[in-house]
Chains A and B, each alone.
Chain A
């Protein structure tokens, strides 16, 4: 089945450690996005990529890094510089910049810093 796969579903990290969240899609979509969600809040955009080897900062990019070496993959690294990394992280994709249709979301990765 086509869709977006995020892993791991749950992740625990000690303070000061970097952690990488995986996001893979087999929808042949050009655009991919990373969002962060805190309890009781809406989603906030971290990074997005419209095409391979290109990405832009979203509203809360500090303390995060991404890469887009393959169309199918858009991993997110939460670095030790992120002051409050405990959150629910969601990856999404869409057909492309000019597409007006839907974004497809993964099931999310819940990161807890101990």
Chain B
């Protein structure tokens, strides 16, 4: 399974944009890039996913490098409720039986008022 690398922690100020990076240099052509976040003592929550093109939804934007070896999750205006652990995950439904998600350590985002 292809691996992802994320910083252990990041800090942000409330109402400022946050850019969470993820490196995935061994990504294959059939890997989708998924982002989830997890608040303490809760199950992970889906944020966004994409394959090649940049993606936007109500929660965030996903910017994918042209060579797909890295991606960035963008929270446009951080709020205190965005403080969580953010996981960048590669999901291969073609060759990875069951389309399972392989979680890494994630980035712990703290948001200061």
Contacts and interface: CB of A to CB of B under 8 A. Distances in A.
Interface in B94-113: 97-106
Contacts of A44: 103
Contacts of B106: 42
Interface in A51-98: 56, 58, 88, 90, 92, 94, 96-98
A58 to B, nearest CB: 7
A56 B97 contact: yes
B98 A48 contact: yes
A108 B49 contact: no
Contacts of A101: 49
B103 A42 contact: yes
A48 B99 CA distance: 10
A42 B100 contact: no
Given A88-B41, A94-B99, 19 more contacts: A31-B99, A33-B101, A42-B87, A42-B104, A43-B101, A45-B101, A48-B100, A50-B97, A56-B97, A56-B98, A96-B99, A99-B93, A100-B32, A101-B49, A102-B46, A102-B49, A103-B44, A103-B46, A105-B45
